[in-house]
Amino acid sequence: MQSRELYQRYHRLILELAHEGQSCSGSVQRLRELLRQFELEVADAPNSVRLLREQLSEQLEHVALCSAHPDQRYALFAAVKRLELL
């Protein structure tokens, strides 16, 4: 899968997860699983992994800062933090 497609897919999936309104612990567990899958998929495109993580992290952080819903912000910032640690 191309980097752009991966970015779009995971950006959409993470936003959907954040908007579901689950409990924070439920969101974090699903987020971990989602980002594990992301890591497996980006392993096929090693040249663009760092850039892809940075772009995704920056965009999710921007959305989190603009969000008025605390649970959504929490899930989005958790995703940003996890991406930065990978």
Domain ranges of the chain: 3-85
User: What is the predicted pLDDT for the residue at 20?
Assistant: 81
Do residues 31 and 75 make contact, with C-beta atoms less than 8 angstroms apart? yes
Does the structure show a pLDDT above 80 at 84?
yes
Buried b (16+ CB within 10 A) or exposed e, 19-41: eeeeeeeebbebbeebbeebeee
pTM higher than 0.85: no
What pLDDT is stored for residue 57 in this prediction? 93
